Structures are given as C-alpha cells and as structure tokens.
C-alpha cells in the first residue's frame, strides 16, 4: 500500500476537540488506501509554557534537561491522538522520538537529524496500525539523551520521516489553506498558489514566510518529496487541495514572479571608514560566524583614499551581540565608527522565472522609487532579489511589488 505522512501543528491540536477533528482527517486517508504515519506538534502554547518553566527554574539551565522538559509537549499530543483514533475505530499507537528512533547530533535545543530507523513503524503498517509520532524530537544515541530540533522542528520531523519510510508524499496541515503570494493580512488580494517549486518555497521560507520551516523545505528538496500545505480546519469529508511544493518541472507554466516575502526581524550595521586591505572582510565576519550570527545583505563602498564603508544585516535579535563583538574587535578590524539601525525591514521578490527574464529587479526598484521608498541595501540570487528599507514603508512596498508583478487576485 502507498504510504503517507501527515503533520499537524500546534493550532491543529490545540484542544481535545480539535484532536478528534485531526483523527477524522487521518481516518479519511486510511480509507483512501494509505498506510499513514502522523507527526504532531505540542498543543498550541504548551511549548512556550514549558520553556518559561525552564527559565523560571534557572536562567542559565542545562540544555539537556531543557530538551527533556520541552519534548514532553509532543509526547502528550501523540498519546491523545492515538486515543482519539482508537475511539474512531482506527488501530493506532504513539511513538516518541527515542522509540522510532529519530537519531540526531548532540546540539541540544537545535539538533539536526542524522538518520531515522523506521522499521518498527513499517512493521506496524503490516498490522494495519497507524503510527502517531511525536515531532520536534529525537535522541542522541551515544549519550542516550532526548534532543529537540528547534522551533518548527515538527515540519522537519515529518519530511524526514516521509523520506525514511518511502512515502508517496508529505502533507503539512496548519491553520492556513496553502501558500499565498504574500501575507493575506498585508495584501487582501494575495492568492493561494496551487503549486510552488521547492527552490521558491525555500527562498520564501528563509525570507520571512512562516508557512513552513526552512530545514523542512531543504529536506523536501534533497529527497524530492512532494509536500502539500493544507488546512486542518477544512471539513475532513471535503478538504481543499492546498498548495503542492514540488519540482520546478512539475509546474506546467510558472510566472516570472511567484511571491513577495518580508521580514521585520532585521537590523542594519554599518562600519565607517574601514581600511581597505586584504583580509579585512574576514576580520569582520569571522567573529560573527564563530558566534553563530548569520549575516545576510552586504554592501561595500570603496572611496579613493583606500577606505571603505561596509554595511550588512543581521537578525534583530542578534544586533546587540553583533555590535558588542565588533566593538571588541575594533582594533583588529580598524574602523572609525559603527552605526546601527533596528527600524528596518527586508522585502523580497521570488520566482524561478527570473532566471530567464531580464530587468525584473530594475522594474521593482523603479516602482519603489515612484512610491518614495528609499532602498538602503540590495541582495540578489538567481531566483530572488531583496531590498532593505525603513520599516515604516514595509506594507507599502509589499503591496506595490505584489501589484507590479501581477500577483493580485480577487479582493
């Protein structure tokens, strides 16, 4: 029988009533002829509550014990859903990360999946038993300690499990009915897409779209795993199709631009009058990399007197730490002054069609200029361009670009 992985997020399992609704979705797919493995998150708000308890117990706490605490949220949900399925006449059992097992590295709080050994789950399929797997968690085999995968880790668990069991596809159920051309709360004319390429979804997720976690999209791309984003709040007897994330060649005709993403979690740092010499960029960015601070947009302006200004962005949450590291390394780097700003946002335009069409970015820059939006920095790749702007202009910029590239649907 074909195999299917269904993943349900925290809002989908927020109450026992919603868990019973999830069970109906699962039962529908079993009736359609699938062997089903379900991956669940903790009930909405529970992980935050568990994290708060850890911080209350000790501000600086052992991350191994932190993982033992926060992983319990998914354990509760997996047991409750197994009970709900049994109540609806479906043979089911719960599986924790260490039971599957999901093998990870030892990076507690942000572990990476090394492999999954799903033989027990597959044997259960032979007994017509549905597996309900606790997402977000695994085990570091050498130490025998529970690990967690970081925020959004249940998406990663689901795609990795789908690849491990040879599933036909992976369905990610959430509180939206698919992937939209941009955030519908910002642009009322945003449209749900029927399909989106893996590469486009990866860019959208990394640039601020909250529908799927970045690592889960990376895994789907790596394993060529067709992945649907669907709504758990649809009628289980008449669900909508959602959005399929798939190979570019599986999309009959793609637009030049697929979507517009944005992120307000940005901060800008500018180093003034840096001595322009070999190795200066390494002296700036190596300390940040060693501290786990990701740098995104980089702009360097060189003057005639062998001095340069260097501007780049980091996550707003890393701003103070990055600034302190650079001030500490001021003597080695050799800059005159450091300026920073947190009131900035990144707006990005994504589309695989940009590979074969010239002038897409220039058209966007002109449209923003006509609206009085000043661009602080620009970064590009083969299928996207991003601009850094003042945060106050975020919604104006998103709406302008969304309309410009023909993404508006019916209001």
**Is 210 one of the annotated binding-site residues?**
yes
pLDDT(236) > 90: yes
* 288 and 354 both lie in a single domain: yes
Whether residue 132 contacts residue 97, with contact meaning beta carbons closer than 8 Å, is answered with no
The pLDDT score that the predictor gives to residue 330 is 87
Return the pLDDT at 364.
95
Distance (Å, rounded) from C-alpha 180 to C-alpha 184?
7
Q: What is the pLDDT of residue 191?
A: 93
pLDDT, tens only, 108-164 = 999 999 999 999 999 999 999 999 999 999 999 999 999 999 988 999 999 999 999
| Residues 73 and 30 occupy one common structural domain | yes
Is 136 annotated for ligand binding? no
Domain with residue 321: its CATH number is 3.30.2130.10
Distance in Å from the first CA to the final CA of the chain: 43
Domain ranges, residue 54: 3-250
pLDDT for the residue 409:
81
Give residue 95's pLDDT: 98
172 occurs within a structural domain: yes
Residues 6+ apart with CB under 8 A from 224: 247
- Give dist(CA 180, CA 256) in Å, integer: 16
User: Does 346 show up as a binding residue in the annotation?
Assistant: no
262 annotated ligand-binding residue: no
On whether residue 21 sits in a domain, the answer given is yes
**324 in the same domain as 233:** no
Tokens of residue 177, six digits: 């009915």
Query: What was the pLDDT predicted at 211?
Result: 80
Mean pLDDT calculated for residue range 277-284: 85
The residues near 173 (Cβ < 8 Å, ≥ 6 apart) are 6, 7, 8, 9, 12, 22, 25, 230, 231, 232
Minimum mean pLDDT range among 138-152, 200-214, 350-364, 384-398: 200-214
Q: What is the rounded CA–CA span in Å between residue 135 and residue 113?
A: 12
Dist. CA 164–CA 175, nearest whole Å: 26
Residue range 235-243: mean pLDDT, rounded: 92
How far CA 109 is from CA of 112, 150, 176, in Å, comes to 10, 5, 27
Do 42 and 129 have their domain in common?
yes
**Mean pLDDT value of segment 43-50:** 95
Is residue 7 marked as binding?
A: yes
Together in a domain, 167 and 313:
no
Shared domain check, 140 and 39: yes
User: 111 to each of 61, 100, 274, how far by Cα in Å?
Assistant: 17, 16, 37
CATH classification at residue 169: 3.40.1160.10
What is the average pLDDT across 37-66?
A: 95
* Model pLDDT for residues 19-41, shown as the tens digit of each residue: 999 999 999 999 999 999 999 99
One domain, residues 81 and 201? yes
pLDDT number for residue 253: 66
Q: Is 150 exposed, middle or buried (0-12, 13-18, 19+ CB in 10 A)?
A: middle
CB atoms within 10 A of CB 397: 22
Quote the percentage of the chain above a pLDDT of 90.
76
8 annotated as a binding-site residue: yes
Q: Has residue 51 been placed in a domain?
A: yes
pLDDT at 237 over 80: yes
* Last-in-domain residue among 250, 271, 294: 250
pLDDT of residue 257: 93
Does 99 fall in a domain?
A: yes
**Whether pLDDT at 242 is above 80:** yes
Mean pLDDT of all residues in 232-256: 88
Residue that is last in its domain, among 200, 228, 250 = 250
Q: Is 178 annotated among the ligand-binding residues?
A: no
Tell me the pTM.
Answer: 0.86
- Mutual orientation of helices 153-165 and 214-222 as an angle, nearest 10°? 20
**Does residue 10 have a known ligand-binding role?**
yes
Q: Are residues 7 and 127 in the same domain?
A: yes
Q: Are residues 240 and 359 in the same domain?
A: no
Q: Which of 19-33, 93-107, 213-227, 239-253 has the lowest mean pLDDT?
A: 239-253
- Indicate if 59 and 118 belong to the same structural domain: yes
410 is in an annotated binding site: no
Q: Which pLDDT score is estimated for 210?
A: 74
pLDDT, tens digit (0-9, with 9 covering 90-100), for 253-280: 667 899 999 999 899 999 998 887 788 8
> Is 185 annotated as contributing to ligand binding?
yes
Confirm whether 12 is domain-assigned.
yes
* Residue 130 within any structural domain of the chain: yes
Q: What is the pLDDT of residue 411?
A: 58
Considering the domain boundaries, does residue 74 fall inside one? yes
Query: What's the whole-number average pLDDT of the chain?
Result: 93
Mention every residue, 6+ apart, whose C-beta is less than 8 A from residue 249: none
Answer yes or no: do 326 and 371 share one domain.
yes
211 is in an annotated binding site: yes
Q: What is the pLDDT of residue 292?
A: 85
Same domain, 139 and 239: yes
pLDDT average, residue stretch 294-309: 81
Q: What are phi and psi of 185, to 5 degrees?
A: -75, -20
Please say which residue of 250, 275, 310 terminates a domain: 250
Count of domains for the chain: 2
Please count the residues of the chain.
411
Q: Give domain status of residue 409, yes or no.
A: no
- Contact criterion met (CB below 8 Å) for 8 and 158: no
């Amino acid at each position: 029988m074909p195999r299917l992985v269904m993943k349900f997020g925290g809002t989908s399992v927020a109450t026992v009533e919603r868990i019973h609704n999830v069970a109906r979705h699962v039962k529908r797919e079993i009736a359609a002829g699938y062997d089903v493995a379900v991956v669940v998150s903790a009930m909405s708000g529970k992980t935050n509550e568990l994290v708060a308890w850890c911080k209350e117990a000790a501000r600086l706490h052992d991350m191994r014990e932190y993982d033992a605490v926060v992983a319990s949220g998914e354990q509760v949900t997996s047991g409750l859903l197994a009970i709900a399925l049994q109540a609806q006449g479906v043979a089911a059992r719960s599986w924790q990360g260490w039971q599957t097992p999901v093998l990870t590295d030892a990076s507690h709080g942000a572990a990476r999946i090394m492999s999954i050994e799903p033989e027990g789950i597959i044997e259960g399929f032979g007994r017509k038993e549905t597996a309900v797997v606790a997402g977000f968690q695994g085990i570091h085999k050498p130490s025998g300690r529970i690990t967690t995968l970081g925020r959004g880790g249940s998406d990663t668990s689901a795609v990795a499990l789908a690849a491990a069991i040879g599933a036909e596809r992976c369905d990610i159920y959430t509180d939206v009915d698919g992937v939209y051309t941009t955030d519908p709360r910002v642009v009322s004319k945003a449209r749900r897409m029927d399909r989106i390429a893996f590469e486009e979804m990866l860019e959208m997720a990394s640039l601020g779209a909250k529908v799927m976690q970045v690592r889960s999209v990376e895994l789907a791309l790596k394993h060529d795993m067709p992945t649907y984003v669907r709504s758990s709040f649809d009628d289980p007897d008449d669900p909508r199709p959602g959005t399929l994330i798939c190979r570019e060649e599986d999309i009959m005709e793609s637009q030049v631009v697929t979507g517009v993403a944005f992120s307000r979690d940005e901060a800008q740092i500018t180093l003034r009058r840096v001595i322009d010499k070999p190795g200066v960029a390494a002296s700036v960015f190596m300390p940040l990399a060693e501290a786990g601070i990701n740098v995104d947009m980089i702009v360097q302006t060189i003057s005639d007197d062998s001095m340069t200004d260097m501007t780049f962005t980091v996550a707003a949450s890393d701003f103070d730490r990055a600034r302190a590291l650079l001030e500490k390394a001021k003597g080695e780097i050799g800059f005159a002054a450091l300026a920073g700003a947190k009131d900035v946002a990144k707006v990005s335009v994504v589309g695989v069609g940009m590979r074969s069409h010239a002038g897409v970015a220039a058209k966007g820059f002109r449209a923003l200029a006509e609206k009085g939006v000043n661009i602080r920095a620009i970064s590009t790749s083969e299928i996207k361009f991003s601009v850094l702007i003042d945060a106050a202009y975020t919604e104006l910029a998103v709406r302008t670009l969304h309309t410009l590239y023909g993404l508006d649907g019916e209001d």
